[in-house]
Amino acid sequence: MLLDNLALFLRIVERGGLAAAGRDVGLSPATVSERLQALEAHYGAALMTRTTRAISLTDEGRLLVAGARRLLAEAEELEAGIRHGTEMISGPIRLTATQDLGRRCVVPIIDAFLAEHPAVTIDLHLADGYVDLVGQGFDIAIRHGVLADSSLRARSLGPNRRVVCAAPAYLKAHGTPRHPQDLATHDCILMRFGQNLDAEWRFRIDGRMERVMVRGRRVANDGGLVRHWCLAGHGIAFKSIRDVDADLASGALVELLKDYSAGETGLQIVYPASAVQPRRVRLLIERIAAAFAAAG
């Protein structure tokens, strides 16, 4: 019963409320509340602060989130080994990735992995904004940039430079920028990450990294849509090379301002720093890392 209550506790954290967690598992809010109270009584500490609008974890609750994940992973690994044998891989994996990279690079890896392991299920969340890896219960995240959360672990997937690019049709109609400052006269397609608008693009000019302000009539929080608009000739985009490498190779897009390197942002697999990961998660991490290494 303790493991069941721990699993329910994690569901409450991931779903952000008792009622939503109850709907997922077919329990009434009253029953969920009773089981949460039983868990708090077992540990002798309040695990959550509840209001009519939201819940927040206490210090003890945050400690239990990490511990509960480890305990449940160990229990699940043990059961799978006994029921199916050590060679059988089964169970759910939750992962998140950016929209464009997820669709183009991660989904094919997942498809091959599922074909190889029919008892595994995948819950894929594609989002370009910030995702709370631990709070939302993800096993893996694929992220750009530097790891800011020290409670997570990361494995590099290699360098990932950003490129300025546009469709030949746009360049024919509006001309080709020769210097980063020329972007001020062009229609740029901008990304929004949560509340932050990516309207300052970085370039190396005369040996120094400088920020260039850009503007445009199209803004989106979906990297796939930014790429689609760029391919359609609606403006100039600032994209990860892994998102547009095939488009550049085919000539559908043209790389601009090559002499003003925009620098690189790391690409990495990020995961909670728990002591135990289910074997299925470890295998998928290895598969993703190998696929990205092979792609260069």
Q: At what angle do helices 241-250 and 223-231 cross, to 10 degrees?
A: 20
Which residue's structure tokens are 């390197």? 261
Look at residue 61 in the predicted model and tell me its pLDDT: 81
Look at residue 59 in the predicted model and tell me its pLDDT: 83
Show the CA angle centred on residue 86, arms to residues 281 and 280, nearest 5°.
10
Look at residue 52 in the predicted model and tell me its pLDDT: 61
Residues forming a β-bridge with 201: 212
**Residue 293 burial by Cβ neighbours in a 10 Å radius (0-12, 13-18, 19+):** exposed
Look at residue 51 in the predicted model and tell me its pLDDT: 67
pLDDT value at 149 more than 80: no
Tens digits of residue pLDDT in 16-55? 788 888 888 888 888 888 888 888 888 888 888 876 667 7
Tens digits of residue pLDDT in 59-72? 888 878 877 777 77
Domains of the chain: 1-65 (1.10.10.10), 89-150+264-296 (3.40.190.10), 162-256 (3.40.190.290)
Confidence of residue 86 (pLDDT cuts 50, 70, 90): low
**Which residue type is seen at 167?**
A
Which residue's structure tokens are 């019963």? 1
Q: What whole-number percentage of the chain has pLDDT above 70?
A: 90
Tens digits of residue pLDDT in 166-215? 999 999 999 999 999 999 999 999 998 877 888 999 998 888 888 999 99
pLDDT value at 237 more than 90: yes
Of the two residues 66 and 142, the one the predictor is more confident about is 142
pTM for the complete prediction? 0.65
